[in-house]
Structure 1
Amino acid sequence: MKTFQLANESSSLLSLSPKFILPEDERPQLSEVTSLDSIPIIDLSDHSYDGNNHSSSLVVQKISQACEEYGFFQIVNHGIPEQVCNKMMTAITDLFNLPPEQTGQLYTTDHTKNTKLYNYYLNVEGGEKVKMWSECFSHYWYPIEDIIHLLPQEIGTQYGEAFSEYAREIGSLVRRLLGLLSIGLGIEEDFLLKIFGDQPRLRAQANFYPPCPDPELTLGLPVHTDFNALTIVLQSQVSGLQVIKDGKWIAVPVIPNAFVINLGDQIQVPLMCFSRSFSPFSIKLMHPEINLFQIYTMRKYKLVYLTILILLEKRLDAHKFNVQTQNFCA
């Protein structure tokens, strides 16, 4: 197994030290994970409509059902060129592969910093913290110049060019998805986009999960839900992402040039009065993996505004978007 050294570790990760080992009741049960079922896969190229009735679109119907039953779905034929995704994945992989003395310059425990490399922890009984088997790099989308000058010289230009192109494509995809979600709610297509306004919070996060010597004892990320509105996930060639469906963990397979879409709490919370199911998720470790998250978040006062408008919208069908949220550690 290839060894890997985290930015804030003094030696390579050859074995699990106690700080990574979860209590028995928190450990992943990998033998119980099923791959027989998974989240829906939706082809965005299907634009069949019934006359002028956009709500009859097969895409809208599938997205509505996926949000109702899972809160997650994968999309294919989304219009983002594969080379753009590959270029972005190569850039972030090259960053994580830099020597720890270089990536260590980005490491911080100060989460108020806009650009940072950090670790997740899980609070366990007794007040102790267990370190997750992962390393996370996060920054705001713009301005890209503020990010580049903080990166090691070897990666700055490559990363800046790749991310600028990738962010433009993802921004267009997010606007399209918000339109489809609005139609699925039975309201105007630009409803959610107007609520988010011109200044949503846009954050990129890349998580690296090194080769794990004993994946039965630890997690890459704790079980959690996303507080934000929408998360767009690009997986590497190895799958470790899992979601809960009907009390059982199911694996999310890697599909070439596909994105995993997670409907976050900010959209789900206003719809709780129509709720039925929701899927928290986690990262289970079998092989080295990188996931790239593009996170779309509305400002706090917008959440209150959205809640009021949703509840007042007379056309909202109580049978649509039956999702609910519950509190998991993040």
Structure 2
Amino acid sequence: MSRTIQFSAAGGPEVLEFVETPVTAPAAHEVCLRVKAIGINRAEAMWRVDDYIEPVQFPARLGYEAAGIVDAVGSEVAGIAVGDKVNVIPSFSMNQYGTYGETVLVPDHAVVPHPPSLSFAEASSIWMMFVTAYAALVVDAKVGKGDFVLIPAASSSVGLAAIQIAKLEGATPIALTRTSEKKQQLLDAGATHVIATEETELVAEVQRITGGNGARIAFDPVGGKNFGKLIAALSFQGTAYIYGALASEPTELPVLDMIARMISVKAHNIWGTSGDPQRRQAAVDYVLKGLASGELKPVIDRSFKFDEIREVHRYLESNGQFGKVVVTL
């Protein structure tokens, strides 16, 4: 038997329940994983309240990321053996699989090598953050020298990944945060500039930093009332990627300004990369190379125990973290 987390109705962290479930043999293309650490994502909190990109089927499991040791493999699994240290990359629906458990089944395509330099906790934190940012900034935007990249919610795990990747590619990361409280942390994390949006006029400061040209890229998980300011801070033919909806209010677009300056807005998620075998492998190779060189580094804000899972979600929704929240088993 294995303790796993399930919930039978949408709601706050209190709906999360520990359930004893039998450990079943993996199907042909499944891997049974003894979980050592779980990476916690905002997507899972949205899933818990049934406000995500697909409707929840109850009773529901949850969890996209994990690191652990292979306990068993399906009959058609290749390249993965019992005893291997591996990670789980987000590449499945939580209506089908979940990683919040002591022992879990995952599809073999979601299993990737464990970076040898990382602990289980560190490895459980890296895949959502780095692959999401990599796919937008490297594959699609092709950022490079001379580019300025605006990164709202920069102290989130994906925001910090975007800072590291933009810098690795030779671009200039401009971290956006509400107040100056985390300014030095963001500079230490690799941001070239930090703008406290509640203390400084965003567009004017971006114009000053970029010599009046604006930023070519914005990489935004928020939307809402300030999205128009991001658009105004972009350069001619700039692009805004929106990969989250953290703002509770509607996101309005300044259409005439966008037409005048030929601005693009692109919806973005990890699935376009992790759901395609070739793109997924390229992303994994990129991240592993960056970790090995030290140019990409996990950033863990706080680690919890598995028994504290409700408190984990309460903390996640407080929006005070700097980096990733993880759970260890």
Which has a greater percent of strand?
2
Identify which of structures 1 and 2 has the higher relative contact order when contacts are C-alpha pairs closer than 8 Å and 6+ apart: 1
Same fold (TM over 0.5): no
**TM-score normalised by length of structure 1:** 0.27
**TM-score normalised by length of structure 2:** 0.27
